[in-house]
Chains A and B, each alone.
Chain A
Amino acid sequence: MSGPSKYQPTTALGKWFHERLPIVAFAKDHAMDFPTPKNLNYWWTFGGILAVMLVVQIITGIVLVMHYTPEATLAFSSVEHIMRDVNYGWMIRYMHFNGASFFFIAVYIHMFRGMYYGSYKAPREVLWMIGVIIYLIMMATAFMGYVLPWGNMSFWGAKVITNLFSAIPFVGTEITTWLWGGYAVDNPTLNRFFSLHYLLPFVLAGVVILHIWALHVPGNNNPTGIEVKSEKDTVPFHPYYTMKDGFAIVVFLIVYALFVFYGPNYMGEPVNYTPANPLSTPAHIKPEWYYLPFYAILRSIPNKLFGVLAMFSSILILLFLPWLDTSRVRSGKYRPVFKLEFWVFAAVCVALGYIGSKPPDGAYVLWGQVLTVYYFAHFIIILPLIGLLEQPKVLPNSISDDVLAHSTASK
């Protein structure tokens, strides 16, 4: 935010407080007056939606902890106690359980929006990288949360995912033993996962503040990808985007509520309503849907160490995206070749997710390998080449010109 604050304390008490802690001015500048491009479309509302989902998860989570017992012999029955005996316990638990899925739905839309409109490009590289870190913390938090009900998929998911670290040369076994606190996933594992699952969301909230800070230095990207040139290009965040985001948030909550109240177990695995059994692996072990593309990449490589490396690389490569995209034009709107390839890439990600949900045999393995190769080629080969070779469309002069052109065209 540049320039002096528009906040002027009107009362003597307000002035007294402002001179000592200018928090009201800070909040007004960043949550109300912040100049925001006036052409943001509904894909830009998912940032606000994500903030709401984080709050929903933290509040429902704190409430669940009041009734949950992180102990291997009691965890499963304490969840059933919440579902059956606690006042509105069933609702709060279903909100938390489906909230994780909807958190990921929103974050994936948010990420693909950033990729389509080139929101990661200079000067927003750090903003994007903090976003990738948020995504990583989300994945770790969701994984540990999934272990807590101590159902049979919880148990085997914990075992399989922690075993990824056994692929590390020389010290792999020591690391898994350290993670488990024993020779297998057991009560000590459950306890530490509980502790971290409670801690990480607050870390997440802190990193989200950094994310917003890094957003408010250069300001928002927008669908044209052109920087704001004058005040004419912007509107104050409040009431313009508070109301637009508010509407989008409520629509998102309607879809969320449909699942919470009418299909609360659709996102889950039926096997997880069977208590953990260390002697019997479920017939088809698979992670929650939001990990499936990476799980498919893991299984595509017929070597333990390289499979694990490929999986982690597939996420960490996002950190380098700002430099892998060589295009001088930011928004995919003006990049005809990229635009097409973007949708191919999105389809590849969905297809990888589908492969990840299937048993690792036959044609699924081959398809998984083909798609994995494409996934990495997109970042390392295709994106840099498109940026160099494609002829972008002519950009409008300013955000206002673009808005004006569209409103006259539609009349």
Chain B
Amino acid sequence: MSKRPDLGPKRGPIVMRVRDVADAAHDTVNRRDFLMIATGAVAGVGAVMTAWPFIHQMNPDAAVLALASMEVDLSSIAEGQEVILKWRGNPVFVRHRTKAEIDAAKAVKMEDLKDPSARNLNGKDSDAATDENRVVGGKEQFLVMMAVCTHLGCVPIGNSGEFAVVQGNTKSGGWFCPCHGSQYDTAGRIRKGPAPENLPVPPYKYLSDTKIQIG
């Protein structure tokens, strides 16, 4: 506080001003203002910093972040069957696709897709939504993806919708969301309805020929 903050209107050289009685009174007011502003600023910064722990406490805690990965034995899933598992609180589809379903997925033209991105966390963001990019090479029959409609989060129903493979009276592959009518094809790609994106593929890897680990 040894230096006078120069906030007042300039009326001449500083040396002159110090001796100016009227200005000295003015100067006191300025000092007071400066102190007030500094205090207000420091108090404000403190309030913001204090708020952070009280906001951050609602973020996922250390126990949630460390949730275990999950192993799935694929040998017990027969061709044409799918299971729904819970991983990190969300349902996951693991589907053993038929040849017809894979062929149907591969036959789709890229320009017919609503969402051109593969949405596969094991690949790159720029990957195109080809059937190959949605599964692991050599293991095309196993489709692993989140069972969470990208519209508003319902679980789509399997073997149904307009993009399932129809054989006689039965449908196989393809998903239909009962909440708002989104339709997914046999690779879990959005084709129709309000959902904006393909069903995302969670991080997973093969531990052995018949065993995967999700997460």
**Interface stretch among A86-94, A139-147, A214-222, A302-310?**
A86-94
A63 to B50, CA, bound (A): 14
In the complex, are the beta carbons of B57 and A89 less than 8 A apart?
A: yes
Minimal Cβ-Cβ distance residue in A for B65 = A85
In the complex, are the beta carbons of B62 and A85 less than 8 A apart?
A: yes
Minimal Cβ-Cβ distance residue in A for B59 = A87
CB-contacts of A67-83 with B (<8 A): 67, 81
In the complex, are the beta carbons of A66 and B57 less than 8 A apart?
A: yes
Minimal Cβ-Cβ distance residue in A for B63 = A85
Report chain A residues within 8 Å CB of B56.
Answer: 87-88
A88 to B57, CA, bound (A): 6
Is B53 in contact with chain A by the CB < 8 A criterion?
yes
A347 to B59, CA, bound (A): 48
Q: Mark B50-62, 1 if CB is under 8 A from A, else 0.
A: 0001101111011
CB-contacts of B122-148 with A (<8 A): none
Report chain A residues within 8 Å CB of B54.
Answer: 59, 63, 88, 92
A88 to B54, CA, bound (A): 8
Minimal Cβ-Cβ distance residue in A for B54 = A63
Pick from A59, A66, A85: contact of B58, CB under 8 Å: A66
Q: Mark B81-122, 1 if CB is under 8 A from A, else 0.
A: 000000000000000000000000000000000000000000
Report chain B residues within 8 Å CB of A229.
Answer: none
In the complex, are the beta carbons of A87 and B63 less than 8 A apart?
A: no
Report chain A residues within 8 Å CB of B63.
Answer: 81, 85
Report chain A residues within 8 Å CB of B64.
Answer: 85
In the complex, are the beta carbons of B57 and A63 less than 8 A apart?
A: yes
Q: Mark A79-120, 1 if CB is under 8 A from B, else 0.
A: 001001111110110000000000000000000000000000
In the complex, are the beta carbons of A84 and B57 less than 8 A apart?
A: no
A81 to B61, CA, bound (A): 9
In the complex, are the beta carbons of B61 and A89 less than 8 A apart?
A: yes
Report chain B residues within 8 Å CB of A89.
Answer: 57, 61
In the complex, are the beta carbons of B58 and A88 less than 8 A apart?
A: no
In the complex, are the beta carbons of A85 and B53 less than 8 A apart?
A: no
Q: Mark B61-84, 1 if CB is under 8 A from A, else 0.
A: 111100000000000000000000
A183 to B57, CA, bound (A): 38
Known: A87-B59, A92-B54. 20 other contacts (CB 8 A): A59-B54, A63-B54, A67-B61, A84-B62, A85-B61, A85-B63, A85-B64, A86-B57, A86-B61, A86-B62, A87-B53, A87-B56, A87-B57, A87-B61, A88-B53, A88-B54, A89-B57, A91-B53, A92-B53, A92-B57
Q: Please provide the 10 A-B residue pairs with the shortest distance between their CB atoms, ordered closest to farther.
A: A88-B53, A85-B62, A85-B61, A85-B63, A87-B56, A86-B61, A87-B57, A88-B57, A87-B59, A86-B57
Q: What are 30 contact pairs spanning A and B, CB under 8 A?
A: A59-B54, A63-B54, A63-B57, A66-B57, A66-B58, A67-B57, A67-B61, A81-B61, A81-B63, A84-B62, A85-B62, A85-B63, A85-B64, A86-B57, A86-B61, A86-B62, A87-B53, A87-B56, A87-B57, A87-B59, A87-B61, A87-B62, A88-B53, A88-B54, A88-B56, A88-B57, A89-B57, A91-B53, A92-B54, A92-B57
